[in-house]
Chain A
Amino acid sequence: MKHSRFITFIAVALISLTGCEKFFLEKPDTTGTVDINTIFSSEKNATALLMNTYRNVLLMDWPGGIGISHSTLGSISGEVGRGYDWHGSFIISNQGLSVNGCDGSENGAERYSANWRFIRACYILIENIDMVPDMDDTMKKYVKAEAKCLIAYRYMGMFYRYGGVPLVYKSYTSSDDMTTGRSSVQEVLDLIVRLCDEAYADLPDSWDAVNLGRLTKGVALAVKARALQYAARPLFNSATPYLDNGAANNLICFGNYDKERWKQAIDANLAVIEWANANGYQLLNTGGAGEGVPNPNAFDDYATATSVAGNPEVLLPYKCDEYTQGIHTYMLFTMFVPDSHWDTDDDGVLTNMLENYYAADGQDLDIPAVGEAARPGSDWVELIENIEPRAKADIKFCGFDSYNNPGDQNWQEVGWIRESGNMAIDRADAWPGSLDQSAGCGAPVKFWYKAGTRTWFELPLFRMSEFYLNLAEAYNEYDDPQNALKYLNYVHNRAGLPSITESGQTALRETIQREFYIEFFFEGGKRYYNSKHWKREDIDDGICGGQMRELQFSFRAGTQAPNTKDKIEWYWNANTFRSTWHPRMFLEPFPQSEINKGYIVQNPGY
């Protein structure tokens, strides 16, 4: 009897404590927590995931998307100055690409791990979009195709940066085997082409006004065309890689030269132009003239094509229309937004870039060589007044008002406030070459045509002139100079310049590449990656590496602001800094922290 009371007591005590578990060990209230089911429970939420994915996937090669972040790839490919000494571009220029990134983190010129995060988001969309109850099947089909095309876009980027990379076909869970190593460049290319073909099949030709800016069939073709163009270029399309990689040569080149790769590129680029013409996209040439005739409206057409949102030359813009983005901050040179405009102080245009432009009559520019005597300021004024329209649209030259925002004080020397070139005022000792300001001959103002006080612009991710120049390059390599010249001159004439007639393959190759340099100045790192894939012999001599040169300007004694062009007394060309180049830099390094995990091998030389 007594014992049973005791046992009852114990039992009651135990039960009451157990019953208290809910009281003592509370669980967090997860109602309202957003999980994967919430995301795919409505079209609105699923679209939000898609929109974040657009924003992240498409930001590649531009400031904010690249590891060097505060600067552009132009700062490490001889277009503009290398930036402040704490900028990633300055460090790369100083010591080359490094496996530990420019600041000890994983960042090289591009964030490696970012690719995988965004590809994961695409796969999550593909795998789950069918769950959304209030989205119609057509839209689901589109979303899947968009996600595939976005994956292809990122793979294309990794393809020309790293060569072969691991192939991922789904969103991983933490228990999956993730020891997948790198695949060959061929396998990566095949995946890109396959994804593009699948996306092409399901994407629409156009979107309604509300959805303007989403991917179309044309973009799928464009991704494929650019990928095949890189595949055909000498860096990959070769029996021997740029550096021997032993048994793993197939990770950094195809292992043979196959002329038919150029044919594939031709077909892909023609397909883009064909689709574009059928769907209202065009190389903007309002001069109305036919082939071979300089376009009288060249300045407006080129400036519109690069700057104006919704213009018919842009197949895909990056629609992130807010100035808080790094892209805009680090590509905006005026003072009118009270933000980090000073970040661009040391990003002036180099002579290395300036000398690519033509004079308006199609001749080469007469720029003083380094060491040559200083020339009078009037000579500078004449040089710029007679430069080709694209240069005027691209650069606000030292002492000049910007041509691309006519009548807007913010874009004129008087409202510029900052130095628009390497200026020496009251400095009798300035010549030769004692200035080292990285402000160059002027500030890049491309993309800001008639921008006024707008603080953002839409980056052109695919612009029609790319496919014309791709064709010029591919035809030239495919031994068809006639077609090469034809497509080159589409672009050259559009720029208001007389036709080029050069037909020797080597010389024409140079001319086509020069046209790329001009047409795509400051545009998404094209000079940086193209030069590497062309395997330019002079890549270490003023392109990615080697001597960088800048014009310098001395103003008359006692000059007061604004420092207008009439006050320039002398100008000259000077060696300013040297940039580092090593053949290993033809491809980017994988971050050391990833190599340490043991699943991938590093590119050679690092």
Chain B
Amino acid sequence: MIANSLMKYLLCVFFALAASAGLAFAQQRTVSGTVTDETGEPMAGVVVIEGGTSNVALTDDKGRYSIQIPDSQVTLEFKFMSYKTKTVDVSSKQDKVNVSMEVDATEMEEVVVTAFATQKKINVTGAISSVNGTDLVSAPVANISNALIGNTPGVSGLQTSGEPGRNQTQLYIRGISTYGSANPLIIIDGIEQADEQAFAEFNSMDANEIASISVLKDAASTAVYGVRGANGVIIVKTKRGNEGKPTISFSGNFGITSATAIQEGTTSYEYALLRNEAIRHEQNSFAGFDSYNIYIYDDYDLWKFKNNRDYTPLEVDAMTWLSDSQKADLKNSPALFYASHDLYDELFRKAAPQYQANLNISGGTAKVKYFASFGYFNQEGITRTYHYRDANTSSDYNRFNFRTNFDIEILKNLKISVSSAGQFGRTAGPGATESVSGVVNDVNDMAARYKTLMKYVYEANPMISPGIVEGHLIDGFSAPTGSMQYDLQLKHNSKTGGINAVNTLLRSGRGILDESLLDNTIRIDHEMDYLLPNLNIHATVSYQDSYSRYTLLQTNLPTYQVRRNSVDPNVLDFYASYREGPGSYESYGYSNWNKLYVEAGVDWSQSFKKHNVSALFLGKASKYTMPGDSYHVPSGIMGFVGRVTYNYDDRYMAEVNLGYNGTEQFREGMRFGLFPAFSAGWVPTAEKWFPANDIFTFFKIRASYGEVGNDRLGDQRRFYYLPSTYNLNQSGYFLGAVVGSTPGAYYSGASEGNVGNPDITWERARKYDIGVEAKFFRDRLSMEYDYFYERRDNILTTLGIIPAIYGVEASSVPPANVGITQNRGYELLVKWEDQAGDFFYSIGGDISYFRNKIIYKAEAKTAWPWMSETGFAIGQRFGLVSDGLYDTPEELATRPYNNYVSNRVTLGDIKYRDLDGDGIINQNDMCPIGYPNYAQYHFNLRAQFAWKGFDFKILFTGSANGSFYLSDVMTNPFFKYSGNAWKWQYDGRWTAARYAAGENISFPRMTYAYDPTSNNYIMSDYWMMSTDHIKLKNIELGYTFNVRKGILSDMHIQSMRVYFNANNVYTFRNALTPFGIDPETTDGSPYIYPLTRIFNFGLTLKF
């Protein structure tokens, strides 16, 4: 509500300001002059801007310009690519101003945030890419992980869900290199995030707080993180204050979210046709299905489905006791029993609002600098809200953020930085009651959540039952024996009852997840110039604390059965099936965690003529405590970091990085490891012998090698190093005499438990990277290319080769560090940046590619090489290879025996290849099919334009060589005999007639009886869909207003920008389009909450 009225207020202000801006008026004068470069040559195309406005002029080819400005104007700005922007004071009312431009050296000295430092980009020898805060703000999404997609090469990910508060992306850097945990390490303002909560603070950050994000990809840049660096590192730097008067900035946004893709269902008429067809085909194919005759919809049923009527005109006319008007009403009355419901549509609405506001202030004096930001975000979900009683099914995510960063110079050489951040989120939505993992109401069990929601979309059908009729929540038809609906129910043969998706949505209750996170950091920097010039020491302490609680509110809703009145069928009768009762309130999953991080270090840098040397040494430790952990032992990590860099004249550079650290995961003596990395770079274009020219202006080559570790061993138990355990109080035995029914004495048992492996250690990655950076045409065209190769070993692996004679239960055999994988690939980035007059533009794109492979996994030898995972990609799926469908009886007659379904195969079924040629389709014919879910190629294409006050950005993303497996829940029609069927099945199914007519067939015959005829739903490549796609990911159009006079100026507003932007805008047709699945969805669960797109309007005010 608050957000709503706030929005209204903002919109009013916005229109008032926009109107007033145009009314500005003042006395004018003309200023003219010549612009030259350092050598005195005239410069064409220099932009001359009336300071703070969009009034511009250009210099001609003689360097001359002329501009009309108001009398009161005090400054002019002169801008040109690669030159420093000059601001000239014109307050003395002179009309002739000549300007000499200087080459901007700082632009060449773009800095990059690296581990524990910032470095000039030219001196960086590792593979690091960065994203600036403004690009993140352009994607109006809730999560930073989603905003990162498309903005930097080498980072990719998929989303599990589009539900507010649960729609983050699982990010991977340079793909996946291990079958253990592949989470990257996240660093926020120098603080390592706990692996257990890798994305917790990151994803809840307000994009307006972020100054930049660096992605560290190779060993040279991540080795200092030692056992945590192997999967890459993401470093987030938040904004801090600069010296100057306070700048207040406000932004407000209003957006509309909607599903990017929704599956289209069949109408009840189509559904009935399909089911009849399925039953008849099975009756013709297999013996024993005669009893299914009672499930066939007859011609009258079909007429009623088609015409949305419960009675044919003849039936109505036969009701002689009705008056003519009653008969006429009944003939026009839409069907109750024969209706057609679009269950997706009843569950999801078309659009939902999203609001966001941020207010931040920054500034400072020589002694104190500050930045403070306050943000609010609200996103509503697309599940429908039914105002039925007090059942609240609305789904939304609310978040308040604050962040304050103070830098205080206490003494000339002593600085204290105090940073605090808070995130308070509330995710509310339909309650999850279904248990998939065995834990009822596990908030982290997304599969369970969406199964609760989606189950009755899949398991119900278009006519099974209406949701709400005349204000009554319906859980089925009242169907007394002999009535029309009784016969109809028999035909439906529903095993799930008369429940549809609306009913479960309303009855699922409302689950509320409250989460709060506080992050406080104090850092002290001390310059020790008195010892050695440029010697600094620092110390940091940080404490993060998070609480969360899940609450489930359930109202006990009254539900009804409905039927038509037997005397006047125009009247509906309702019978209560559940009375209204007291609601229930349950609280689950109260949890908290906290993390302490300390760091202290010393750094030094010095230049000796052209030799530049720097060194860094620091120690750090962190301790993550989660009281709920079964071992009651915090996970900790501590270690030392060392670095030495050297460069000569920005021409030759070299670095040595060392990480030495250890974790509690391993036994003493095995805990600490040394992770070294070496890198070097050379800039030939800086050599004296390199001819200065305008075409090939910059070239750099760099290479790195290093070792990094990964102490996170996947979802396995902790402390494998502990000795083997035994369990007491296991099942035992009885001894002694039995008297009557009384057994002898019971002796409880003991048995061997977990077997330990004292040699357990971290996974090790050896990474190679070689990169080139080049610029052409006076730096307008820039290009960067990295090739990487990585070999992981010591991957913790369950030993599949230990014989059973070991005598230890397979699940207790301790894993060992034996797995080996490799990963290789490249990233290529190209960008063209220029200006034509006052038109600035840049177009660029990047491609990243990775391809991993399991080299060794301690698998037992398989009968055929294609059956083992070794040699294939991580996450490779295995299944049968399809070879079209059985179209003719001749093909069917000569088929191999199908072991999976007792050989029950008929026309229109999927034909599988008998790979080993033994005449039997069995597990020996399962081979790698498709690609893993994570694609190998990712493309991004970006363009940006700016002209006068307008700015425009567009981003396309895409991927190739990824697969999505459609599980049988999605593909099998008539699940449990009366589940749903889909439009794409209707349109693409095999029938003898459609085959004969040469129609497009993309789906096997319709199946009715699930068990004996499930030939088509054995895991196979038939259901492996390509995720290759191209998407218009983000688009943004903005306009910045002149602010000279009027209301804005009176309100001390310096500038105002209005904009429209959008995220996940449009996906070009791809293999998943017919199934209503966004290609950036993970395929882990068949129950999918659709991903969403957002159209957003916003404005930014600067005071």
A139 in contact (CB, < 8 A) = no
A14: chain B residues at CB < 8 Å are 619, 640
State how many angstroms separate the Cβ of B900 from the closest Cβ of chain A: 10
Residue B730 interfacial (CB < 8 Å): yes
Write the chain A residue with the least CB distance to B531: A2
Contact A39 B803 (CB under 8 A): no
- In the complex, A373 has a CB within 8 A of chain B: no
B745 interface hit (Cβ, 8 Å): yes
Q: Would you call A51 and B748 a contact (CB within 8 A)?
A: yes
Q: State A591–B633 Cα separation when bound (angstroms).
A: 40
| B91-99, B128-136, B720-728, B879-887: which lies at the interface | B720-728
Does A405 interact with chain B (Cβ within 8 Å)?
A: no
Question: B735's contact among A34, A100, A214, by CB below 8 Å, is which?
Answer: A214
Within 8 A of A (CB), among B853-912: 860-863, 899, 902
What chain A residues lie within 8 Å of B809 (beta carbons)? Answer: 113, 117
Interface centre among B724, B750, B809, B863 (most CB of A within 10 A): B750
> When the two chains form their complex, are residues B738 and A458 in contact, meaning their CB atoms are under 8 A apart?
yes
Task: State in angstroms the CA–CA spacing of A567 and B116 once bound together.
Answer: 91
Residues of the A chain whose Cβ atoms lie less than 8 Å from the Cβ of B752 = 120-121, 124
Q: Which of B600, B621, B749, B923 has the most CB of A within 10 A?
A: B749
Question: A39 touching B861 by the CB < 8 A rule?
Answer: no
> A2-B530, A174-B755, A597-B803 are contacts. A113–B810 as well, Cβ < 8 Å?
yes
User: Which partner residue on chain A sits nearest B539 by CB separation?
Assistant: A13
Contact partners of A6 in chain B: CB under 8 A: 528, 531-532, 535
Counting CB contacts under 8 A, is A166 at the interface?
yes
Taken together as a complex, chains A and B put the C-alpha atoms of A47 and B735 apart, in Å, by 12
In the assembled complex, the Cα of A454 lies from the Cα of B750 at a distance in Å of: 27
The answer to whether B730 and A33 touch across the interface, beta carbons within 8 angstroms, is no
A447 to B923 Cα, complex, angstroms: 41
Contact of B861 among A3, A17, A214, A597 (CB under 8 A): A597
Is residue A94 within 8 Å, beta carbon to beta carbon, of the partner chain? yes
Contact present for A119 and B621 (CB under 8 Å): no
For residue B752, give the distance in angstroms from its CB to the closest CB of chain A: 7
CA A209 to CA B923, docked complex, whole Å? 54
Task: Using known A-B contacts A3-B531, A174-B757, A211-B736, determine if residue A113 contacts B726 with beta carbons closer than 8 Å.
Answer: no
Q: Which of A21-29, A406-414, A425-433 is found at the contact surface with chain B? A: A21-29
Question: Are B738's CB and A30's CB within 8 A?
Answer: no
Q: Give chain B nearest CB distance to A41 CB in angstroms.
A: 11
Name the A residues within 8 Å of B753 (CB-CB).
34
Known: A25-B636, A28-B631, A95-B902. A174 touches B802 (CB 8 A): yes
Query: Of A3, A35, A597, which contacts B723 at CB under 8 A?
Result: A35
Residue of A whose beta carbon sits closest to that of B620? A17
CA distance A600 to B861 in the complex (A): 12
Chain B nearest CB, measured from A251 CB (Å): 15
A383 to B731, CA, bound (A): 45
Contact B722 A48 (CB under 8 A): no
- Cβ of A482 within 8 Å of any chain B Cβ, yes or no, is no
Cβ of A582 within 8 Å of any chain B Cβ, yes or no, is no
How many chain A residues touch B (CB < 8 A): the figure is 82
- A434 adjacent to chain B (CB < 8 Å): no
Which of A9, A94, A116 makes the CB contact (< 8 A) with B902?
A94
For window 719-774 of B, CB contacts with A under 8 Å fall at 719, 722-728, 730-738, 741, 743-753, 755, 757
* Interface-lining segment among A65-73, A264-272, A314-322, A544-552: A314-322
A138 sits at the interface (CB 8 A): no
Asked whether B64 is an interface residue with its Cβ less than 8 Å from the other chain, the reply is no
Q: Which residue of A lies closest to B629 (CB)?
A: A28
The residue on A at minimum CB distance from B747 is A51
The answer for the CA separation of A119 and B619 in the assembled complex, in Å, is 51
315-360 of chain A: CB within 8 A of chain B: 319-322
Which B residue's beta carbon lies closest to that of A52?
B749
CB nearest neighbor in B for A85: B1011
A212 at the interface (CB under 8 A from B): yes
Closest to A454 in B: B741
> Is B636 a contact partner of A33 (Cβ separation < 8 A)?
no
Contact B802 A213 (CB under 8 A): no
Residue pair A48, B861 in contact (C-beta under 8 Å)? no
In whole angstroms, what is the CA distance A596 to B803 when docked? 10
Question: Chain A residue with minimal CB distance to B923?
Answer: A100
Nearest-Cβ distance from residue A213 to partner chain B, whole angstroms:
5
Minimal beta-carbon separation of B860 from chain A (angstroms): 4
Does A45 interact with chain B (Cβ within 8 Å)? Answer: yes
Instruction: Let me know if A178 is at the binding interface, CB within 8 A.
Output: yes
| Complex partner residue of A45 from B719, B736, B738, B750, CB under 8 angstroms | B750
CA distance A204 to B675 in the complex (A): 63
Contact status B736-A456, CB under 8 Å: no
Cβ-defined contact, A310 with B725, below 8 A: no
Q: Which of A161-209 contact B (CB under 8 A)?
A: 166, 168, 171-172, 174, 178-180, 209
Q: Provide the bound-state CA to CA distance between A13 and B641, in Å.
A: 13
The proximity string for A residues 25-57 relative to B, scoring 1 for CB distances below 8 Å and 0 otherwise, is 111111001111011000001011101111100
CA distance A41 to B723 in the complex (A): 17
- With both beta carbons as reference points, the residue of chain A lying nearest to B740 in the complex is identified as A454
Q: What residue in chain A is nearest B668 (Cβ atoms)?
A: A27
Tell yes or no: A210 within 8 A of B by CB. yes
Residues of B contacting A117 with CB < 8 Å? 807-809
Q: How far is the CA of A433 from the CA of B1038 in the complex (A)?
A: 82
Give chain A residues whose Cβ lies under 8 Å from the Cβ of B863: 592, 596
Are A28's CB and B722's CB within 8 A? yes
A20 touches B (CB below 8 Å): yes
Contacts of B862 on A, CB cut-off 8 Å? 596
- State whether B636 touches A26 (Cβ < 8 A): yes
Closest to B868 in A: A596
**Interface pair B737/A48, CB less than 8 Å apart:** no
A363-395 at interface with B (beta carbon < 8 Å):
none
A51 vs B748: C-alpha distance when bound (angstroms): 7
- Given A172-B806, A596-B860, A10 and B726 contact (CB-CB distance below 8 Å): no
Q: Is the CB of B733 within 8 A of A319?
A: yes
Say whether, besides A27-B664, A116-B807, A598 and B747 are in contact (CB < 8 Å): no
Complex CA gap A164/B663 in Å reads: 48
B12 interfacial by beta-carbon distance below 8 Å: no
Select from chain B the residue with minimum beta-carbon distance to A26: B633
Q: Are B750 and A52 in contact (CB under 8 A)?
A: yes
Closest to A33 in B: B725
Return chain B residues, CB-CB under 8 Å to A21.
Answer: 638
* Nearest neighbor of B728 in chain A, beta-carbon distance: A34
Complex Cα gap A27–B719 (Å): 9
Interface residues as binary, B801-820 with A (CB distance below 8 Å gives 1, 0 otherwise): 11111111110011000000
Contacts of A26 in B (CB 8 A): 623, 633-634, 636, 664
Distance between Cα atoms of A9 and B719 in the complex (Å): 35
Q: Report if A103 contacts B (CB, 8 A).
A: no
**B871 to chain A: closest CB distance in Å?**
16
**Interchain residue pairs with CB less than 8 A apart (29):** A5-B531, A10-B617, A14-B619, A24-B638, A25-B636, A26-B623, A28-B718, A29-B632, A29-B633, A35-B723, A49-B749, A51-B750, A52-B733, A95-B902, A117-B807, A118-B807, A171-B807, A172-B806, A174-B755, A178-B803, A211-B735, A214-B735, A309-B737, A319-B735, A321-B738, A321-B746, A452-B741, A458-B738, A597-B802
Chain B residues with a Cβ under 8 A of chain A: 528, 530-532, 535, 537, 600, 602, 617, 619, 621-623, 631-634, 636-638, 640, 662-664, 671, 718-719, 722-728, 730-738, 741, 743-753, 755, 757, 800-810, 813-814, 860-863, 899, 902, 923
3 nearest interchain CB pairs?
A: A120-B807, A52-B749, A321-B743
Given contacts A33-B725, A210-B736, 18 further A-B contacts (CB under 8 A): A9-B602, A23-B623, A24-B622, A25-B664, A26-B634, A26-B664, A35-B725, A36-B726, A48-B732, A52-B749, A121-B807, A124-B752, A166-B803, A209-B737, A310-B737, A320-B734, A591-B804, A597-B803
Binding site for B on A (CB under 8 A): 2-3, 5-6, 9-10, 13-14, 17, 20-21, 23-30, 33-36, 38-39, 45, 47-49, 51-55, 94-95, 100, 104, 112-113, 116-121, 123-124, 166, 168, 171-172, 174, 178-180, 209-214, 309-310, 319-322, 452-454, 456, 458, 591-594, 596-600
